[in-house]
Every structure is written in C-alpha cells, then in structure tokens.
Amino acid sequence: MRRERRNGVIMSESYAVNEKRELILQKVKEFIVAHGGIVKKNQLEELHIDYRRILDFVEKGDLIRIKSGYYTIRIGDYSEDELIVKLFPDAVLTMECALYAYGYIKRKPYGYQISVDKNTSKSRFKLEFPQVTPFYAEPETLQSGVDRIDFGNAKMQIFDKDRLICECLKYEDKMERAVFQEGVLSYIKDEKKNIANLMKYARERRVVKKVQSMIGVWL
C-alpha cells in the first residue's frame, strides 16, 4: 500500500483519498447552501469538479437528487411548497392549486397545477415528489393577470382571481365537477372580484360565452 508523509505523519493512500473526498464534498455542500439549498447540474459545473464525483456523492447518500439535474443536501429541509418555488420559479400557480391558495375551495388538492411556457422542456416535470401537473401556454399569455403570493417562505407567481376563473372555465373538463362548482361559486360571492378584468381575460382566453352563461346570471 502506498503511503505519503504529511506534516511529519505517514498516511495511507486510502486515507488521503478519503480526506480529499471529504474536502470536495464539504466544498459542494457549502456551494449548495450558498445558492439557496437547491442547485442545478450546470451550477455545480462552476466548481470544476468531475461530475462522476457528484454521482458518487448521490450514490453514497451524501447528496440528494430531487430530480434529474437538481440536487440538495437534505430533502427534509423543504416543504412541498418550497420545492415548487425552487424548482419552478418561472411557473404560475393555476387551477385547483390557485383556488385553494385563495380560499375558494376547502380541500387541499393533490399535487400542484402550474402554467408554464409551452416551449419548456417536458423533462422538468418528471419527478416523483412533489406531484406536478403542467398546463402549457403561449409565452405571452403568462404575462397577463399575474400576481405574487407568499408560498413556502418565498414568493410564487399566481394568476389573479379574475384570470384564474377564466382558466378554470377554459379547462373545466380537466377538473372534478364538485371542485369546479365550489371554486366558481366562491368567486361569485367574493366582493373583491373585478368584473371588468374578468371580461377582459374572458376575451383573451376565449371563454366569454362560458362567463356569460355560468357567471353572468349571478352578477
């Protein structure tokens, strides 16, 4: 077995290798913490570390791969909401997830429904946890009627209430009937709804007839 002398102490080759590994691991962990706790593969490339090292850290349980290309130290440090904010900062909360955030429905939906640019990579949504359902949209439609709310100790984009109802009307067939009805009725009762904005978004999303037939009679 090869040995080397360091500061007057003779160390085995395996000890030196392990020490080097621990130093690299510590460097990676510090980098991840400094970048918000979750990083992408291309961010780790800034460290100029052989990617096989990262794979070894994952295999040994020193790092956690949340999904392909995304890494953290401890998955338990984050709530589902926080993971959504960190993994999909460009997305907009919509449908049942947004209805629940506004208090329009009582039961928290399973998973997360988010609107994203139709040109985004489909592989982004291949993850076991948390469950995500993307709604692909034209890029320009993601700029209209968007607010920000506190979500998982951070800020997340969400369609405002008037735009959200138009989304629910547009994708009514993708929702449970009871949830759809609960959300629409809650909106109708909301004193802060903006009918002018509702009709504006209805024209943009091409659901004017639905607004007139399902909501207009109650206004």
Quick: pLDDT tens for 147-200: 999 987 789 999 999 999 999 999 999 999 999 999 999 999 999 999 999 999
State which of 44, 72, 100 marks the end of a domain: 72
Same-domain check for residues 91 and 25: no
Same-domain check for residues 61 and 106: no
Same-domain check for residues 114 and 164: yes
Q: Are strands 92-93 and 70-72 parallel, antiparallel or unpaired?
A: unpaired
Quick: pLDDT tens for 41-57: 888 888 888 888 888 88
Percent of the chain surpassing pLDDT 70: 90
Mean pLDDT of the chain: 86
Q: What is the pTM of this model?
A: 0.74
* Containing structural domain, residue 137: 80-216
Same-domain check for residues 59 and 96: no
Same-domain check for residues 182 and 113: yes
Is there a domain that residue 5 lies in? no
Confidence of residue 137 (pLDDT cuts 50, 70, 90): very high
Same-domain check for residues 208 and 169: yes
Name the amino acid, one letter, at 209.
K
Is there a domain that residue 42 lies in? yes
User: How many domains does the chain fold into?
Assistant: 2
pLDDT of 1 higher than 50: no
Is there a domain that residue 1 lies in? no
Same-domain check for residues 62 and 85: no
Same-domain check for residues 199 and 152: yes
Is there a domain that residue 32 lies in? yes
Percent of the chain surpassing pLDDT 90: 47
Same-domain check for residues 94 and 181: yes
Same-domain check for residues 190 and 89: yes
Same-domain check for residues 54 and 126: no
